[in-house]
Structure 1
Amino acid sequence: MGTVALVAFAVTVFGIMTSSHAETTTVSLWTDADTPATVDAGDAQAVELGMRFRADSAGSVTGVRFYKAAANTGPHTGSLWDGDGALLATVTFSGETASGWQTATFAQPVTIAANRFYVVSYHTATGHYSGDNNGFAQARDRAPLHAPATANGVYRYGSGGFPTSTWAATNYWVDVTFSPSGAVDPSPSTSQPPPSGDFPNESNTGVPAGVQPTPYTGSCDFRTDNQVIDGKVVDCGGILVYATNVTFRNSVVLSAILTNADDASVTVENSEVRAGATSYAGVGGSHLTVLGSEITGGQHSVHCGGNCLVQDSYLHGQYNDPNDAFHNNGFLSNGGATMVVRHNTLWCSPVDNTMGGGCSTNLSLFGDFAPITNVTVEGNYFHATPGGYCGSFGYNPSKQFGSNPTGVVVRNNVFERGTNNRCGAYGPATSFLATGAGNAWTGNTWADGATVDPD
């Protein structure tokens, strides 16, 4: 994408247009009067070009728009993706003009949730796309639509697919047509809950019923001890916590949350973390507390370096980058002490991609960088996963600190059998060292009540 000239981004006032197809008022981030500074970037390769966006309210995406250079002769297809790369809708453009704004309408509108990231894109077989470098140096906002800054303007060379690469915060002049429902919906999209039992799922985790989060307008530099963010939609584009005892409560957090100092600590309580398409964990670092929350997106849901409590929470919907061979996990530790994972639903849900990336387990304890010690895993629901096992419990002699996990207590967990009757591809559990000091495996069952034994 280095062929695009470095130019300034021209901003004009947003307007409202009417879709003749759906006979409903739709909104977009740009108007027909908005035009690129670089109409033709000169790149003649086939490429998928897109934009990340979210909406303040639930509603329906009715179609895709893009700005066309005269040499960008197509053919063109438009697509809508969720933040994890699942294709939600596609449409072929027809009746295009020689240049300027083009619009294609989906056969059926696609309902989207409030405050959740999606990607709208189009594919050109001939290149010559419009593109303004630094077009997303600042966010593009016009309620109810928002396109975040910097990590936006996405592309993927080739025959098409979910675009994730970025270059110089370039705006490729892709837009969405959206019909808001008017209702603020803080809930993420639906996924399969546990089939039985009193376990966490979308209905009993996250922002409590009746709470309507409002936009967070404070500093995104979290360096104040004992700071509490309560009842907010936090859109900081990535959160680094440097202070102790920072709390996100009754909130929707639209990025990963990471502790970034040795003594930094964070609590996520009755909240929803939607980390989206990032290689960071949804909640990561040391000194983490996650209570009654739903964590989606990110390479891992929770990545703990030590001193962590995850309880009564729903971990699922991790981000599997289609262009890399990264492994996903629900809860992951690469070494550390003093961890409690209690009464959660743990589900590593992405299927393998063509690069070899995909799920390891729902819960992985790996002695890569430090010994695994004093870990309690109790009362959780291990959802059937496309990964190798549902749980891996610390004994990996090939790893530097993997020969002697101690104090690993795994008790009273329930394992879903899944379609292959094994929970994971190879079995429910692996790498539990029964002879390790303080290690215990007791009361773990299948969902039908049968006993689950490690290995």
Structure 2
Amino acid sequence: MPLTPRPPRKHRRISAKRKLSFSRRSLVMALLAVTLTTPALFAATERTSAAAETQSLLPDDLRPRALGDSRPWEVGLKFQVTRPAYAESIQVYRSQTLSRGTIATLWSPTGSPLSTATFPASGQTGLQTVDLDSPVLLEPGENYVVSYSAPQGRQPQDQRQFTRAVSNGVLRAAPDAGVYSGRLGNYPTRTYRASNYHVDVVVSTGDAGPTTPPPTTTPTTAPTSEPTTTAPTTAPTTAPTSAPTTGPTTAPTTAPTTAPTTAPTTPPGSRNFPTRANTGTPSGWTPTRTINGDHNVTTAGAVVENLRIVNGNLNIRAANVTVRRVEISSGQINNVFSRQCSNGLVIEDTTILRGANDIGQPAIQFGGYTARRVKIDGPSEGLRVGGKDYGCGEVRVEDSFVSVNAYAGCERAGSGIDWHGDALQGYNGAKVTVRHSVLKLNPTPYCIGNSAFFYPTQGNTSAVIDDVLVSGGGFVFRLDTPGQVTNLKVAEDSWIYGPSHNQACGAGITWGAGNEYVNYNEGTGAWSSSRPLSCLGFRG
């Protein structure tokens, strides 16, 4: 569903006032459109410490001084965040060649598309901001990319604006942050003369973050020699002066939904833990319908069942939806769109598989849902609990089996891949309750992941854990909020650093009976007691 574009939002930016810095000669030459100029990316003149609801990396008043050639390009920006933040929107400075509109993409560190923003047809030029179809939680230290397609070329391109690192708030970009690809819609990785393609990301954090001013660059005159044929070239032009406007919008259409049928299957036994065999779609199940690509649910109270989705997401855009006996391969279930959470989501007897393409995103997100007898098998992220800012409510996980695998390539030494996967992670989440379930992280010798259960003090509320088996990760079980923990079972020798790392021990966590190390059989779900487990883990 195309989203409503917006003019550049008035960010409560970390950097309140910035100005461009030009040499006199380069400014005159740019105005005369004689040759390329190289302005400093920005020079900080004043910074404030006011709280920021949203942040972007580049100043909104930064204007391009040159355009690329007329070949088609995918151009973008590579960036990082210094702590968790949600990617909300993409900003693009539109040239006249984008009058037919374009698609912008947020890419994962491994080059998988995470979310898109649709820029509609418009004859206007200038900076425009469009919301991502769904917000994406960004992990610190990972390299993400935002890019857009320029089918007719002539995209804004200023050389030597990324000769040094740039930062604003929680956003960082290393030198050579401007990236491109010669194929439209491809993950851009190549760089050319430290070019800035005037595409940016907008993130939300809830506070201002650091206030260290970004570095400035000394303006110089760009090289006059012709660029090579493997990279975009720039041609002199005057900067666009027209103000950005919003384009037409498209009304959403109601996706077909299926009617309710029989009751869910019998839950797994109370002694053994759930397994692959007794969670997810029942044995012998066959779908009544198969969809390649996304499926949207827009009717409140709808029941979606006996459906198979391949290479697509199940997008829940209405409240009180029931998902029953659905299989998803290379996709996810998502219930936040346009900053609105569709609460009351119930997911039963459903399977989510890694498939041919790991999407690098949670199998289920964001909040206000109940997962019963759900099987998540193979994706690099499991359950996400979050979305309080979007109105998401509590999450319940019951009788479910979650097994998360590392990124592709993690099996190779020296791959340079840094995987931070979790079977369940909370970020800005309401209360989460997990009962009689398995949360399992499957690291490799070169990618250990984060935790099977990870609920830190990052806007999270509280947790109730009862009769839960956790296995794998640096620290297997991490709870830093208030909570109640009973009958927690940590699989022996499944950690890298320790079995648990709970900062709220004695200060909000009620550590009840039955918490212990166990010997665990994944195939049958059987387990046997080994020794008691302290809230402090090895420190207890």
What TM-score does the superposition give when structure 1 sets the normalisation length? 0.50
- Which one of 352, 356, 359 corresponds to residue 273 of structure 1? 352
* Within-5 A mapping of 1:114-129: none
8 Å CA contact retained: 2:490, 2:516: yes
Any conservation in 2 of the 1:346–1:380 contact (CA below 8 Å)? yes
SS in 2 for 1:221: strand
- Pair 1:343-2:417 in alignment: no
**C-alpha displacement at 1:315, in angstroms?**
0.5
The alignment partner of 1:250 has SS state of strand
Give the count of matched residue pairs.
257
Matched, 1:210 2:291: no
Q: Distance in 1 between matches of 2:438 and 2:449?
A: 16
Q: Is the 8 A contact 1:256 1:274 kept in 2?
A: no
Q: CA deviation at 1:417?
A: 0.6
Question: 1:224 aligns to what SS in structure 2?
Answer: coil
2:273 corresponds to: 199
Q: Which whole-Å deviations, capped at 9, do the CAs of 1:380-439 have from their partners, x for residues lacking one?
A: 1123x2x21210011xxxxxxxxxx22x11111222113xxxx31222211152322463
Find the counterpart in structure 2 of residue 258 from structure 1.
334
Deviation at 1:6, TM superposition (A): 6.9
Q: Check the 8 A contact 2:352/2:363 in 1, yes or no.
A: yes
Give per-residue Cα distances to partners, 1:217-251, cap 9 Å, x unaligned.
59822222112111111236223322112222112
Change (3 A) 1:352 1:277: farther
* Cα separation, partners in 2 of 1:324 and 1:226, compared to 1, 3 Å: farther
What is the CA RMSD across the aligned residues, in angstroms? 3.6
Q: How does 1:267-346 map to 2 (within 5 A)?
A: 267-275=346-354, 276-305=357-386, 307-320=394-407, 322=409, 324-346=417-439
| Residue 417 of structure 1, aligned match among 481, 487, 492 | 492
Q: Which amino acid aligns with 1:263?
A: C
Residues 292 and 6 of structure 1: is their aligned pair in 2 closer, same or farther, counting only changes over 3 Å?
Answer: same
Output the CA distance in 1 between the equivalents of 2:445 and 2:457.
24
Letter in 1 for 2:314: I
Asked if the contact 1:332/1:363 (under 8 Å) is kept, the reply is: yes
2:359 and 2:457 map into 1 onto residues whose CA distance is 24
1:144-159 → structure 2 map (5 Å cutoff): none
Normalised TM-score (structure 2): 0.43
Identity %: 18
Residue among 245, 264, 273 paired with 2:320 = 245
**Residues of 2 paired with 1:317 and 1:217: CA distance?**
24
1:381 alignment counterpart: 469
CA distance 1:430–1:441, change in 2 (3 Å): farther
SS at the partner of 1:358?
A: coil
Structure 1: give runs of 5+ residues left out of the alignment: 8-131, 135-149, 158-195, 395-404
SS of corresponding position for 1:337: coil
1:232 aligned residue: 307
Query: What displacement does 1:298 show?
Result: 3.7
The aligned runs of 1:353-364 (5 Å cut-off) are 353=446, 357-364=447-454
Measure, in 2, the Cα distance between the counterparts of 1:318 and 1:248: 24
Q: Conserved in 2, the CA contact under 8 Å of 1:313 and 1:344?
A: yes
- In structure 2, the gaps of 5 or more residues are 1-70, 74-181, 191-269, 387-392, 410-415, 519-527
Number of the residue aligned with 1:390: 476
More divergent stretch after superposition (435-444 vs 229-238): 435-444
Relative to structure 1, is the Cα distance of residues 371 and 294 closer, same or farther in structure 2, using a 3 angstrom cutoff? closer
Contact between 2:372 and 2:399, CA under 8 Å: does it hold in 1? yes
Q: Which residue of 2 aligns with 1:100?
A: none
